[in-house]
Every structure is written in C-alpha cells, then in structure tokens.
Amino acid sequence: MGRHTIDPDGHVISVEDFAAGYDRLLAPLAEAGTELVLIEPFLLPISGSVEAGAALVDEKIRKEWRAGLDPKVQAVRELARAYGAHLVAADGMFAALSATTAPEHWAADGVHPTPAGHAALAEAWLRLVA
C-alpha cells in the first residue's frame, strides 16, 4: 500500500476502500494462523519541494496528503486490533524521531525511507517480534 494511497491511475483511495483492501489481504493470512505485523502509513514533515517522478511535491500537497493519511493510520490501527496483530506505530515513531533529527534524515521526500529510516523501521519491527 502506498504511503499516500494513490491508485495506479493517480486517484486518491478513500479510507473505506483502503481499509477494505487491507482487510482482504489480511483475512486469509489470519485464517491460516500467520502472525501479523502491520506498519502504519506515515508522512514526515519535510520542508521545501521534492520531485516525485514528473511532479513537484510542495508543502501544500503534503498537507493534503497528511489530511488524507490520518484516517488511514487509524484504519490500520483498527485492523491491527481486529486481527490481534503487532503494530509498528511508524507515523508516531517518525514524528518523534523528526523532533530531534531532521525528517529528511529518515525519508528525504517524506514518504520513502532512507537507509536510516529503514533501520528505524527494522528496529521497531524487531522489538515487537523478538
């Protein structure tokens, strides 16, 4: 699932469709007894504009993404509870990390983790399942 949940045609996916699609992925795994670990979608508060393919993503666009992302973060939390899954609270984790180290250190474009961002996610994951 994309961080800002845009479908292949460039349309924003509603929170209902996002949650239903995620649920369709989780249901057969849970039925098979798979231990589930969900990761919240996240968006870091970087500054300035960044290139995303042919588009230039500025702070205004990121604010729109943030408004659309918050209900999807909540949907992932609800799915984690419903399935008894572990939850990597990545949105909150990266917000806290960004309070002491520039958000660009964790995800240069605010969406795709840098090596440091990947390491932070891996550490959080391992704390849950180790």
pLDDT at residue 115 tops 90: yes
3-class secondary structure per residue, the chain: CCCCCECCCCCECCHHHHHHHHHHHHHHHHHCCCCCEEECCCCCCCCCCEEECCEEECHHHHHHHHHHHHHHHHHHHHHHHHHCCEEECHHHHHHHHHHHCCHHHHCCCCCCCCHHHHHHHHHHHHHHHC
Question: Domains of the chain: which residue ranges?
Answer: 15-129
pLDDT tens digit sequence for 64-81: 777 778 899 999 999 999
The Cα 80–Cα 107 span in angstroms is 24
Please tell me the least confidently modeled range out of 31-35, 54-58, 87-91: 54-58
In CATH, 15-129 is 3.40.50.1110: yes
Per-residue pLDDT averaged across 48-67, rounded?
Answer: 67
Per-residue pLDDT averaged across 22-47, rounded?
Answer: 91
